[in-house]
Structure 1
Amino acid sequence: MDIISILIGMSWMSAFVALLLAFFLLTVKTNNKVANRLFAAYLLLFAIDNSGLFISESFIKEHLNLEFFRWTTSALILPVFYLYIVSVCFADFRLKPKYLLHAIPFIVQNLVFARLYFVIDAEKMDFYNHHNQMPEFYSLLTMGAIQVVFYSIAVFLVLKKYRAIYQENYANPRTSLSKWLIQISVVLFTLYYLSIAKNSLRYANYELLWIWANVILQFSLLVIICWFVLKALNYPELFRGVDSKLQLAKDILPKKNENSITIKDNQNDVITSQISTLKYYMKEKEPFLDPSLTILELSNQIEIPVRDLSVLINHHMDQHFFDFVNEYRIEKAMSILKNPLKSDLTVLEILYEVGFNSKSSFNTSFKKYTNLTPTAYRNAS
């Protein structure tokens, strides 16, 4: 089997898996319909873009307008992926007319190719046979490279915002998806940047290297897409979004001006009193034992407005809500591990008892606060 056959086989396989998974995402019953549909759209666009490697030459020559249009659909792939990331991060995400702005590159590319749609077949064929040297195709590759840079920045800004909001408002480590989405975004955009480098080989005298680069990228992208979707299906708890309307503590704080006094004595007294009340409530009522505790739920329990509580913990106590709650969980776990009357409890039983629901998260947090594993701490006590 020659390299071209391998490339065609890989592209067929990639497109088939993408279409199969897209069909599943569009038909499966779920509460996360928007995110599923967006990812299905991403997979469909990927399959369309990938089909150029295995569509027969005769079909292409008979439908050149369709082929030119297929080229331009590549301008929709990253915008749809970006919207998918946003929809997964934020549970209140809804598709709105303003998101049509992401289709501007696609519209621009079609305007660039507009003249080709109406010329005679001979001119279309001449363009197709020499498209690598045509300005329209240059503009397509350039637009693609610009999109990779733009959307890689945009995606990581969204993930940064999500992580900050999550840490300030949620305390369940199992539902945090920032690490997972960062991993998949890093891998995918690495492949997209490598694809930019691969495209430059079109214009160098390295045809064999260009073909092998396509084979490697095809295989890598197939593996990544399967990993992404299978992870989403097998671990749906990773895909729980936060409310995008939640504000960070730094955004809630009042803006200072030149004539304002930073904090008055009575304000300091109020803050000190609130901190004491909060710490007493955490010790006595132990709300942290609820693994799904959020800052909104805690504010309702302690009767402090959620905005004030967010500023109190994240600004005045200089802790994320995530770390603030887990500190009490770890202290509770430490007391249990030191208690000889509870030596029969396993580490797994203890982590569930103190409010964790993941062994890996418990071990990571415990070691962060004690520099020891739970087992080592128990043995040393």
Structure 2
Amino acid sequence: MDKVNLLTTVAVVTISISLFLSLFLLTVKTAHQLSNRLFTVFLILHAIDNSVNLDYLFEIPLTGRIFISSFFFLQLPVFYLYVLSVCYSDFKLKPVHLTHIIPFLLANFVLLPRFYTVDLASKISFLAKGSSMVEVQFNHILMHVQCVFYIVAAFMILRKAKKIYLENYTGASLESLNWLFQFTVALSIFFAIAFLKNIFKFTAYPNISNGLKVGLILSELIIIFWYLYKALNNPSLFRNIDSKLKLVSEIILEEKNSNPEVINENEHSLAILTLKQYMVAEKPFLNPSLTIQEVAKDIKIPVRELSVLINHNLDQHFYDFINHYRIAYAMDILKDASKNKLTVLEILYAAGFNSKSSFNTAFKKHTGHTPTEYRKALQDKVL
């Protein structure tokens, strides 16, 4: 199979999978419809961008090819909005978000005088001298600047969202945020390779650029399959956080600026004692979706104060604080000889976890062993 056939075949498969996943995301029943719709738009834009590789099957007019290629300028802004919608439960699309289409409009606007509005012969001449045309150079620079901006912005959002989640929630969203972080890393690598491809395109080594193009299309296919696998296995993958929540470091800074009084250590000690007594007596950690707001309501301590108390005074994220009690509860079950027929899966659910991976990670972090190793060591009377 020659290179042209390979590009066309992979493009057809990638477009087909993208459209199938788009249909799945639009029809699946979930509370996160906006996130699904935004990622659907991202996939459709991706499919449109890929359609320029189908000219082996049917002819695409020159003007159409260039216009289709400019849809790249919409992909990362939509992905950025998707990340926002995944991270924050109260995210809504607003008119201000239309500013994200400015690069797309600008990229097409600069091509109006000497490409879009001229005859076919002039268009062919323009593209033949593409590497030396200021409009083409401008669009390539704009493309790469946009890539860096949105990728960095996405990582910053994910980093802050993860910190807020750790300080306020428990459950499976941490795995979701980690997965979305990995997906963003994969996209970063993809666009970095695309950047190299474009560099070689304007050098004396165009064959390297063509080789990287084949690699990019194949990697696109892998990324799409990866997301499809995740989406089909986890249709309700994400649990959002409230964008109004602040990091503990921000809360402490605000309190120092507004009320620089001496901290009452006795009050903190009493609050910590109340919290620990509540954890032992009521066992709220058995709720897999427990939030700091629920704990604050039960022990009648303002959420801000409780957040500072756990994350600052106890020097633990709320996520780790709750998991400490869950692991202790799971260890008691493992030590109970009458319950040795319970599986690890049954134990993790009984202790308040909702996934095996998060249970294994937390258990090893607190004990230095996996649950299976810990149980075996108990049986062998090592521990």
| TM-score w.r.t. length of structure 1 | 0.92
Amino acid at match of 1:131: G
- Residue matched to 1:44: 44
Amino acid at match of 2:310: I
Q: Deviations over 1:239-262 (max 9, x none)?
A: 2211112111122223435x9755
Q: Find the partner of 1:312 among 306, 309, 333.
A: 309
Distance 2:337 2:121 in 1: 88
CA RMSD of aligned residues (A): 2.2
State whether residues 173 and 238 of structure 2, in contact with CA within 8 Å, keep that contact through their aligned partners in structure 1: no
Distance 1:25 1:360, change over 3 A: closer
Q: Which moved more, 1:346-355 or 1:190-199?
A: 346-355
Distance 1:219 1:149 in 2: 22
Paired residues for 1:229-378 under 5 Å: 229-253=228-252, 254-256=254-256, 261=260, 263-264=262-263, 267-378=264-375
Q: Find the partner of 2:92 among 87, 94, 97.
A: 94
- Local SS of the residue matching 2:71: helix
Q: Which moved more, 1:2-11 or 1:77-86?
A: 2-11
How far off its partner does 1:220 sit?
0.7
Distance 1:30 1:373, change over 3 A: closer
How far off its partner does 1:178 sit?
1.5
Q: Deviations over 1:75-94 (max 9, x none)?
A: 11111111111111222211
Amino acid at match of 1:44: I
**Percent identity for Structure 1 against Structure 2:** 45
Paired residues for 1:137-156 under 5 Å: 137-156=136-155
The question of 1:3 aligning with 2:6 is answered no
Unaligned stretches of 5+ residues in structure 1: none
How far off its partner does 1:326 sit?
0.4
Amino acid at match of 1:284: A
- Residue matched to 1:30: 30
- Local SS of the residue matching 1:256: helix
- Residue matched to 1:109: 107
Amino acid at match of 2:277: Y
How far off its partner does 1:325 sit?
0.3
How far off its partner does 1:365 sit?
1.0
Unaligned stretches of 5+ residues in structure 2: none
Q: Deviations over 1:183-213 (max 9, x none)?
A: 1111111011011001112122333332221
- Local SS of the residue matching 2:64: helix
Q: Which moved more, 1:155-164 or 1:1-10?
A: 1-10
Amino acid at match of 1:280: Q
Paired residues for 1:125-140 under 5 Å: 125-140=124-139
State whether residues 89 and 162 of structure 1, in contact with CA within 8 Å, keep that contact through their aligned partners in structure 2: yes
The total of aligned residue pairs comes to 376
State whether residues 42 and 78 of structure 2, in contact with CA within 8 Å, keep that contact through their aligned partners in structure 1: yes
Distance 2:10 2:58 in 1: 21
How far off its partner does 1:320 sit?
0.5
Q: Which moved more, 1:49-58 or 1:326-335?
A: 49-58
Distance 1:57 1:231, change over 3 A: closer
Distance 2:359 2:190 in 1: 34
Distance 1:67 1:2, change over 3 A: closer
- Residue matched to 1:214: 213
State whether residues 167 and 322 of structure 1, in contact with CA within 8 Å, keep that contact through their aligned partners in structure 2: yes
State whether residues 22 and 40 of structure 2, in contact with CA within 8 Å, keep that contact through their aligned partners in structure 1: yes
- Residue matched to 2:17: 17
- Residue matched to 1:185: 184
Distance 1:28 1:357, change over 3 A: closer
The question of 1:81 aligning with 2:69 is answered no
- Residue matched to 1:122: 121
Q: Deviations over 1:128-176 (max 9, x none)?
A: 3333332211112111111111111101001101101111111114663
State whether residues 28 and 235 of structure 2, in contact with CA within 8 Å, keep that contact through their aligned partners in structure 1: no
